[in-house]
Amino acid sequence: METKRTTHNASSQEMLPLLIVVNKLIDGGLLEKDDRDHLSLSRQSFVIPMVGSVQAGFPSPEEEALCDIISMDEYLITRPESSFLVKVNGDSMSGAGIMDGDLVIVEKGRNPKNGDIVLAEVDGEWTMKYFQRKGKEIILEAANPRYPVIRAKSELRVGGVVTAVIRKYHR
């Protein structure tokens, strides 16, 4: 059986949205064009199109349009060489929007500031809490009023600062 191949000559108006996307991918460093205008991936990266913004209050009549292409790893991780993921267990940070089962990205080596969420080892136990320095004392505070303030009895070591939260709604 012979298949018939048809060609479609797209108008420049039909090609414009595709060209815009391709040019954004080239400008973003995700695609490369060789001397014969062939396209190839320049690196492995998790990218996803950003199609606009959404009103979280009242509905907006905005149409969906491609605004940008975002590399999720570059957006979420500033320093990949010193970052790692930790799965959250418990609800002590629920007031900060960090829920049981979420993943947090932690950056080692960043000096915590008051109000930063940190991963810390306190007297041999690991926890994630708000960092507060009051004079020479460092305290760790939960984002859930059911949990007490933590003060180290002997040792407190900050393992890193939480820089992002990842939550998956559907598995």
Q: What is the pLDDT of residues 66-119, one digit of tens each?
A: 567 777 888 888 888 888 999 999 999 999 999 999 999 999 999 999 999 999
Residues of the chain with CATH 2.10.109.10: 80-166
- Give this prediction's pTM: 0.67
Taking 60 as the threshold, does the pLDDT of residue 45 lie above it? no
Confidence tier at 129 by pLDDT (50, 70, 90): very high
Q: Is the dihedral of CA 70, 75, 78, 84 positive or negative?
A: negative
CA 2 to CA 4: how far, in whole Å?
6
CA 54 to CA 152: how far, in whole Å?
43
Mean pLDDT (the chain, rounded): 81
The domain made up of 80-166 has a fold known as Umud Fragment, subunit A (2.10.109)
Lowest mean pLDDT segment, chosen from 22-26, 124-128, 132-136? 22-26
The CA-based dihedral angle spanning residues 135, 138, 143, 145, taken in that order and rounded to the nearest 10 degrees: -80
Residues 6+ apart with CB under 8 A from 57: none
Q: What's the alpha-carbon Rg for the chain, to the nearest Å?
A: 24
* Residue 69 β-bridge partners: 49
Residues 6+ apart with CB under 8 A from 143: 92, 93, 94, 95, 96, 98, 129, 130
Taking 70 as the threshold, does the pLDDT of residue 145 lie above it? yes
Q: Is the dihedral of CA 144, 147, 153, 156 positive or negative?
A: negative
Write out pLDDT tens, residues 1-18.
444 444 555 566 666 666
More confident call, 152 vs 73: 152
Tell me the residue ranges of DSSP E strands in 67-136: 68-71, 83-87, 103-107, 117-122, 125-134
Instruction: Report the catalytic residues.
Output: 92, 129
Alpha helices, H only, 77-144: none
Q: What's the pLDDT score for residue 72?
A: 80
Measured in whole angstroms, how far is the alpha carbon of residue 115 from the centre of its chain? 20
Q: What's the pLDDT score for residue 47?
A: 59
Taking 90 as the threshold, does the pLDDT of residue 20 lie above it? no
